[in-house]
């Protein structure tokens, strides 16, 4: 099916209606740039993180996990370059004071502002006679630091200043020595972390795409400088495999080589993995940067602690770093966009999520044909208990009639629905006793499967 901006609106509405994603602080009018995950959103989110951890950490011998504190000493962010260089260009509506990202306003006007200086941005704004969305003049652009500041304890003055981390990566760099000393990894090796990051985005927008609080799944992969290109290629292929595992079609993924003048302050090479979001087109899903020895070197200089790796023969060097970095919210968005499908079933338009079974919030739903027949309910509860013990994420659904249940489960992406009927009880055809109907979400086809074979069938 053709997907468009309209599709994105339908997905956002489905997410709210079915309990995937709610607006943050909704009952107080919301808080811009924040979203809360509902029961099904948590499942999808956890499934994505679990699969990522399995693929990048548990299934490999060269990866080590970490879970660092969100609050870090402010010196970390001075050394990393974020205090001095983590900016977006901001302009204000001179009448209302509303703030906008200058590069986004220019992009909407067809001008690519990537890598432009503030002077160049101002010149383009003036050349294109750009106004604020309310039609007012714009202030000259200025750099706006995206880190959230807070204060720790009761300390007044600059010593009490802390930042909420804008990337999980620095928690890994400052623990590099701890991991090396405790785990004795052989180079090349990676340290992986999943956790929250915070950015005071000037213009949060497009659902989960650009928010102020989000989760990242990051790896810092430590290599010898001479090996960085070969290792970069290997990891690039692993990222391709990851996106396949999310069920994203190859034609909807594009690798964008970030031009030199638009590289982050720490990067010598970056590929953005872009997804073809409906109605928006290709935009960043994940980033893959070669950070050189920028971070370890800066932390070594600033802290006075050696960050060198020592080989068994006693030789020492500062490793270089490759960094695959994934946003969980963007992965959720891409997965939902890919899975959202409309077709016609039994003469009616049906919308459903064609989620891969390993990502679906529920692997299977179990129903009694009628909820007012205790013998059907008892049997359905028994089958439900059997499957729940094995898979965990199993739904018991007896609301509405069977047709409504199928539509609901289709819409949330449950791959199979199992119905316990009178045949299961052996009342109509004894040969069908202890068999159930299993309905396939994608085809709507139904099969009779023996309860004894269900686990194998669903696996």
Give contact residues for ligand GAP (rule: CB under 6 A). Answer: 167, 169, 199, 201, 210-211, 214, 216, 218, 284, 286-287, 323, 325-327, 329-330
Nearest residue (CB) to ligand GAP, 148 versus 457: 148
User: Angle of helix 39-53 relative to helix 328-339, nearest 10 degrees?
Assistant: 110
To ligand GAP, the closest distance from the beta carbon of 271 in angstroms equals 11
**Min separation Cβ 33 and ligand GAP, Å:** 8
Min CB(139)–ligand GAP separation in Å: 23
Give residue 159's Cα distance to chain centre: 34
Q: Which is nearer to ligand GAP, 248 or 369 (CB)?
A: 248
Comparison of 125 and 169: residue with beta carbon closer to ligand GAP:
169
Under DSSP, is residue 383 helix (H, G, I), strand (E, B) or coil?
helix
Q: Provide, rounded to whole angstroms, the least separation between the CB of residue 250 and ligand GAP.
A: 19
From 7, 413, 410, select the one nearest 207 (Cα to Cα): 7
- 451: phi then psi, degrees, rounded to nearest 5: -55, -35
Tell me whether strands 309-310 and 340-345 are parallel, antiparallel or unpaired: unpaired
CB of 326: closest distance to ligand GAP in angstroms? Answer: 6
> Which two structure tokens, joined as six digits, stand for 196?
């929250």
Nearer to ligand GAP, 3 or 82 (CB): 82
Select 88 or 122, whichever has its Cβ closest to ligand GAP.
88
Query: How far is the C-alpha of 207 from the C-alpha of 369, rounded, in Å?
Result: 38
The CB-of-376 to ligand GAP minimum distance in angstroms stands at: 46
Question: Which tokens go with 21?
Answer: 């994603």
Strand pairing class (340-345; 21-23): unpaired
Structural tokens at position 111: 């001008």
Q: State in angstroms the smallest separation of the CB of 165 from ligand GAP.
A: 10
- Which of helix, strand or coil describes residue 244? helix
- Closest contact distance (angstroms) between CB of 87 and ligand GAP is 12
Nearer to ligand GAP, 214 or 222 (CB): 214
Nearer to ligand GAP, 14 or 211 (CB): 211
In the bound state with ligand GAP, the residue whose beta carbon lies nearer, of 256 and 317, is: 256
Peptide bond into 141 cis (omega under 30): no
Q: Which is nearer to ligand GAP, 319 or 327 (CB)?
A: 327
Question: Measured between alpha carbons, how far is 392 from 384 in angstroms, rounded to an integer?
Answer: 10
| Residue 71 dihedral angles phi and psi, to the nearest 5° | -80, 125
Which residue has the closest beta carbon to ligand GAP? 327
By beta-carbon proximity to ligand GAP, the closer residue of 331 and 369 is 331
The b/e string for 381-418 (b: 16+ C-beta within 10 A; e otherwise) is bebbebbbeeeeebbbbbeeebeebbebbbbbbbbbbb
Min. distance of Cβ 119 from ligand GAP in angstroms?
Answer: 25
Shortest CB 208 distance to ligand GAP, Å: 7
- Cis peptide, bond prior to residue 448, ω within 30 of zero: no
Query: Using CB atoms within 10 A of its CB, is residue 331 exposed (0-12), middle (13-18) or buried (19+)?
Result: buried
Cα–Cα distance, 380 to 113 (Å, whole number): 59
């Amino acid at each position: 099916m053709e997907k468009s901006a309209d599709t994105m609106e339908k997905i956002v509405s489905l997410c709210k209606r079915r309990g995937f994603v709610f607006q943050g602080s909704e009952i107080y009018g919301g808080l811009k740039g924040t979203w809360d995950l509902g029961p099904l959103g948590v499942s999808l989110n956890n499934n994505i993180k679990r699969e990522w951890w399995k693929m990048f950490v548990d299934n490999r011998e060269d990866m080590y996990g970490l879970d660092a504190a969100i609050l870090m000493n402010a010196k970390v962010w001075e050394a990393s370059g974020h205090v001095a260089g983590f900016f977006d260009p901001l302009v204000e509506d001179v009448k209302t004071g509303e703030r906008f990202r200058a590069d986004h306003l220019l992009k909407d006007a067809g001008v690519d502002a990537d890598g432009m200086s503030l002077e160049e941005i101002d010149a383009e704004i003036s050349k294109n006679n750009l106004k604020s969305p309310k039609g007012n003049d714009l202030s000259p652009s200025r750099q706006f630091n995206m880190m959230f500041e807070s204060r720790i304890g009761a300390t007044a003055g600059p010593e009490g200043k802390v930042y909420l981390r804008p990337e999980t990566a620095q928690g890994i760099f400052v623990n590099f020595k701890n991991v090396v000393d405790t785990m004795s990894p052989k180079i090349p090796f990676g340290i992986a972390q999943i956790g929250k990051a915070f950015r005071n985005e000037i213009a949060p927008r497009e659902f989960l795409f650009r928010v102020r609080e989000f989760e990242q799944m990051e790896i810092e992969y430590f290599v010898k400088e001479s090996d960085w290109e070969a290792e970069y290629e290997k990891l690039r292929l692993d990222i391709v495999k990851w996106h396949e595992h999310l069920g994203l079609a190859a034609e909807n993924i594009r690798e964008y080589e970030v031009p030199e003048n638009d590289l982050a302050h720490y990067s010598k090479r970056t590929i953005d993995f872009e997804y073809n979001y409906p109605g928006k087109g290709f935009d960043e899903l994940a980033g893959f940067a070669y950070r050189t020895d920028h971070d370890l070197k800066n932390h070594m200089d600033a802290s006075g602690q050696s960050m060198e790796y020592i080989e068994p023969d006693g030789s020492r060097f500062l490793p270089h770093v490759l960094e695959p970095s994934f946003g969980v919210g963007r992965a959720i968005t891409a997965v939902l966009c890919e899975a959202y499908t409309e077709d016609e079933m039994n003469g009616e338009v049906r919308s459903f999520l064609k989620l891969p079974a390993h990502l679906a919030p529920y692997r299977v739903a179990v129903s009694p044909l009628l909820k007012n027949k205790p013998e059907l309910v008892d049997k359905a509860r028994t089958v439900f208990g059997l499957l729940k013990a094995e898979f965990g994420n199993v739904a018991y659904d007896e609301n509405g009639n069977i047709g409504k249940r199928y539509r609901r489960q289709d819409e949330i992406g449950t791959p199979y629905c199992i119905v316990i009927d009178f045949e299961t009880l052996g009342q109509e055809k004894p040969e069908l006793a202890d068999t159930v109907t299993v309905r396939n979400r994608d085809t709507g086809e139904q099969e009779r499967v023996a309860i004894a074979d269900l686990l194998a069938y669903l696996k």
